[in-house]
Amino acid sequence: MLKRTAVCVGALVLGLSSALTGMAQAAPDPVPRPNAAQVRTDTTSVSEKDQKAARSFWSTERLLAAKEAPLPDAGPAGRAATPVERDADQGPAREIPPAQGAASARSTTTSGSSAAASSPTRWTGGGLVARTAGRVFFTLPDGGLVTCSASAVNSANKSTVLTAGHCVVDASTGEVYKNWVFIPGYNEGRRPFGTFTAAQLLHDPEYVNSGGNLNYDYAFAVVSRYNTRSLVDVVGGQGLSFNTAVPGMRVHSFGYGGSDAEGNHEWLNHCEGDQYADQGRADSTMLGIGCVQTGGSSGGPFLADF
């Protein structure tokens, strides 16, 4: 089975145009709208007032009550308009290196991989992923409390988070979710590096235009500083690789799944496997691995060369 509907992040990102690497060149607070020629996204800005309200909204009780994000109901192939034509000219391969961040100097865990995991296993290996992966929280229009996974990624503004599209916008209505925050390193209610609020939320317009085609189910958030410090300066950022995804590559998958075995969203889980192409949808550009992480893990990172 395919893992989940998140686009992949780390040493590897799947299905993204190289144009996305040009996003968010300005200082993170405040954050101007990115150049439309550089970034193929729809951008929603969040006022400082709403950011402050979002940070206050997420009490520990609400964090613990949040449930996994609803997946789009777009049918077996969605309603995408010509994904093959869109993906035909993605440009050359490009890599962005990871950034370590200040937290690496005081980490009490060591980097390393756990034993090969074909089903989700609690991650105890520490390292950069233990700081950069985290949970996203937001609210639905009906007031529902929702959670996903995400990862801090290296970028010019040092304030960018990569997650799944369905963790940012309702594909059926185009409505962007409210009270959106990212908590890197989340662990059983603890926020070791603080709570970062979204200043901008960016999604691929084709995700909404297609009614939720999973080929476009990725999104970015540009977050404001926390106590005057940028996200990457605090926790570091995963590297990105554009236009390099291939079947057969070994990858490691991380996320905060909601099953009992995965800790009901409360800790970071890991599994690994060789990528293979999605055979379930005729127009799919996705890759997956033979390890199933459950709802709430959407948006978490895939890491290659781990």
Of 48-62, 82-96, 121-135, 180-194, the one with minimum mean pLDDT is 82-96
For residue 163, the surrounding DSSP H or E stretch is strand 160-163
Between CA 39 and CA 135 the distance in angstroms is 25
Query: Looking at the chain, how many residues does it have?
Result: 306
Between CA 306 and CA 27 the distance in angstroms is 30
Looking up tokens 């084709």, which residue turns up? 206
Q: What is the mean pLDDT of residues 70-88?
A: 45
Please, which pLDDT band fits residue 87 given cuts at 50, 70 and 90? very low
Count of other CB atoms within 10 angstroms of residue 134? 31
Of 58-67, 174-183, 234-243, the one with minimum mean pLDDT is 234-243
Helices (H), 74-213: 83-87, 128-132, 205-209
**Residue 84: its pLDDT value, please?**
33
Count of other CB atoms within 10 angstroms of residue 245? 23
**Residue 105: its pLDDT value, please?**
53
Residue 265 has pLDDT above 90, yes or no: yes
Count of other CB atoms within 10 angstroms of residue 81? 12
Residue 14 has pLDDT above 50, yes or no: no
Q: Is 18-25+36-81+90-103+126-246 in CATH node 2.40.10.10?
A: yes
Quick: pLDDT tens for 118-168: 789 999 999 999 999 999 999 999 999 999 999 999 999 999 999 999 999
Between CA 119 and CA 272 the distance in angstroms is 8
Specify whether the CB–CB gap between 163 and 176 falls below 8 A.
no
Specify whether the CB–CB gap between 169 and 26 falls below 8 A.
no
Q: Which residues contact 40 (CB under 8 A, 6 or more apart)?
A: 17, 19, 20, 204, 205
More confident residue, 89 or 288: 288
Please, which pLDDT band fits residue 90 given cuts at 50, 70 and 90? low
**Residue 89: its pLDDT value, please?**
56
Domains of the chain, by residue range, sit at: 18-25+36-81+90-103+126-246
Please, which pLDDT band fits residue 179 given cuts at 50, 70 and 90? very high
Quick: pLDDT tens for 230-255: 999 999 999 988 887 788 889 999 99
More confident residue, 8 or 289: 289
Please, which pLDDT band fits residue 104 given cuts at 50, 70 and 90? low
Q: What is the mean pLDDT of residues 196-218?
A: 95
Between CA 23 and CA 7 the distance in angstroms is 17
**Residue 73: its pLDDT value, please?**
63
Distances in Å between the Cα of 3 and the Cα atoms of 23, 188, 285 are: 27, 23, 14
**Residue 130: its pLDDT value, please?**
97
Between CA 41 and CA 35 the distance in angstroms is 10
Residue 76 has pLDDT above 60, yes or no: no
**Residue 35: its pLDDT value, please?**
39
**Residue 102: its pLDDT value, please?**
79
Please, which pLDDT band fits residue 286 given cuts at 50, 70 and 90? confident
User: Average model confidence (pLDDT) for the chain?
Assistant: 80
Specify whether the CB–CB gap between 137 and 58 falls below 8 A.
yes
Please, which pLDDT band fits residue 24 given cuts at 50, 70 and 90? very low
**Residue 244: its pLDDT value, please?**
79
Q: Which residues contact 197 (CB under 8 A, 6 or more apart)?
A: 46, 51, 52, 54, 55, 180, 181, 223, 224
Between CA 306 and CA 303 the distance in angstroms is 6
**Residue 77: its pLDDT value, please?**
37
Residue 38 has pLDDT above 50, yes or no: no
